[in-house]
Amino acid sequence: MSDNRKHQPEPRLMRLYLRHCAVGFGLSAVFVALLLYYDIAGLGHLIAGSDVGPMALFLLWFFNGTVFGSVQFAIVVMSQAEPDDRHDNDHKGGGTGAPVFVPARQQKRSKF
């Protein structure tokens, strides 16, 4: 089964995602390096003195990179949003936006 369609470049959103994930993983590398250098909560000593230190270092970098990359991407996507036009002063939907007094009745509560 052959596909005669030409190879299309990656969508713009995918390139944006991958670029900002790479930025997040770079920030994660800096963060983990500083975390180990300043030995926050004894992590530097713990990782250096353990036989599974390289695995712990990789996991620390990878999971922080996932979080930092996701945050980077979310910030970029949300900053590209169009301004919300619903808060204009012309009130096309009607109404004045004035508060309305609504009386509330108090009911007697039983003990159980």
Q: Kindly give the confidence (pLDDT) of every residue in the chain, 112 residues in length, as a single tens digit, with 9 standing for 90 and above.
A: 555 556 666 688 888 889 999 999 999 999 999 999 999 999 999 999 999 999 999 999 999 999 999 999 999 888 887 776 555 555 556 667 788 888 888 888 877 7
Helices (H) and strands (E) in the chain, counts: 3, 0
Please name the residues in contact with 29: beta carbons below 8 A apart, sequence gap of 6 or more: 61, 65
What integer pLDDT is reported at residue 42 of this predicted model? 93
Lookup: tokens for 57: 């270092």
What integer pLDDT is reported at residue 87 of this predicted model? 55
pTM beyond 0.75, yes or no: no
Lookup: tokens for 100: 């309305």
What integer pLDDT is reported at residue 6 of this predicted model? 65
What integer pLDDT is reported at residue 45 of this predicted model? 94
The closest of 94, 60, 76, 59 to 23, measured between CA atoms, is: 76
